[in-house]
Structure 1
Amino acid sequence: MNATPIRVMGVDPGLTRCGLSIADGAAGRRVTPVAVGVARTPADLPLAERLLRLSNAAEEWLDRYQPDVVALERVFERGNVSTVIHTAHGVGVIMLAAARRGLDIHEYTPSEVKKAVTGNGRADKAQMTAMVTRVLGLAEPPQPADAADALALAVCHCWRAPQLARERAAADLAARAGAGR
């Protein structure tokens, strides 16, 4: 049970479309959506300009919504090295913006998010969107898929935060016990 409310910024990183979301986690598995959107950058702009636009969007969301933590999709090789590199640049921009604010950053693989939200680590986009819509009690599915994925990341972290806190407390206790020897 999550006794402490938490505000999570979920990020589905991408350079052309970066899904952004804010969700509040509360006791139990209750998650309330606050905001969802997509930051877009035109592919015909120079990389530096695209990263600047993404950075500005991330900074605006962080300042406006004041999340406690950022949850983002871990970059992995998808077969197109250029896409991976561009996505990694975007992740760096998001991480830097969060780090400037002293926020914890948690990365989740797509299969971890799918497993947390649907119970199936191989769920497809339609299943994920349907579950995000249902879990958050939304009237309509979030569009585009990047927005739904950003919400899924926020939900995943809200549900995992209590366990992560227990693990951190146990590690701290063990470290203090070891230091007292």
Structure 2
Amino acid sequence: MRVLGVDPGLTRCGVGVVEGIAGRPLTMLGVGVVRTPADVDLSHRLLAVEQGIEEWLDEHRPEFVAVERVFSQHNVRTVMGTAQASAVAMLCAARRGIPVALHTPSEVKAAVTGTGRADKAQVGAMVTRLLRLSAPPRPADAADALALAICHIWRAPAQNRLQQAVARHTLNATKGRTA
């Protein structure tokens, strides 16, 4: 499974591609950040994020895109920019027919470090270890993007089984039977 992880942001949008399957060693195929200048009009910043993500999609051809689910923050301006960058990533994937998965920050932290309360340094250290890198990816947005991809690779099989079970139950219930 090849996953593009996207840590959305307007100034720095982390991107990272990881390949592998749950229970096996994972391989980093690329990591980086799509940057936009803060003094540029919002529409042009979103366009730059789109162009950057499209380049990553062209180069790495992921099967899935994992995006950090936007959560409420105290700074409304920051959360709006994050949500807009997140929507751009989802739009780019949808345009190509690539499935998108949303993972909360605490889900990603728990998947990678074992605790949903891990800090950025702990996430970076575990990403480094899991991908057998010589140093943590910088900036932290890049490490977070890789963590998103890892989280999706590890969680997708269980999520797929759950969705299939729900679908079977729903189908049986509509036929007058229960699963």
1:7 touches 1:25 (CA, 8 Å); kept in 2?
yes
Structure 2: any 5+ residue segments left out of the alignment? none
Alpha-carbon distance, 1:13 to partner: 0.4
- Is residue 2:89 matched to residue 1:91? no
Q: Tell me the residue number matched to 2:117.
A: 122
What is the distance in 1 between the residues matched to 2:22 and 2:76?
A: 41
Partner residue in 2 for 1:150: 145
**1:66 has 2:71 as partner:** no
Q: Report the TM-score, using the length of structure 1 for normalisation.
A: 0.93
Cα-to-partner distance string for 1:16-42 (whole Å, 9 max, x where unaligned): 000001111225243211110000000
TM superposition score normalised by structure 2: 0.94
Contact 1:33 1:136 in 2 (8 A): yes
Matching of residues 1-181 of structure 1 within 5 Å: 6-181=1-176
Q: Secondary structure of the equivalent of 1:11?
A: strand
What residue identity is the alignment partner of 2:37?
Answer: P
Q: Distance in 2 between matches of 1:111 and 1:29?
A: 23
The two structures, once aligned, show a CA RMSD in angstroms of 1.2
SS in 2 for 1:106: strand
SS at structure 1 position matched to 2:4: strand
**Residues paired across the two proteins, number:** 176
Q: Give yes or no for contact 2:18–2:27 (8 Å, CA) kept in 1.
A: yes
In structure 2, give the amino acid aligned to 1:114.
Answer: K
What's the CA shift for 1:12? 0.5
Q: Find the aligned partners of 2:48 and 2:108 in 1 and give their Cα distance.
A: 27
Cα distance change of structure 1 residues 27 and 110 upon mapping to structure 2, 3 Å threshold:
closer
Q: Aligned residues: percent identity?
A: 57
C-alpha distance in 2, partners of 1:13/1:147? 10
Unaligned segments of structure 1, at least 5 residues: 1-5
Which sits farther off after the overlay, 56-65 or 166-175? Answer: 166-175
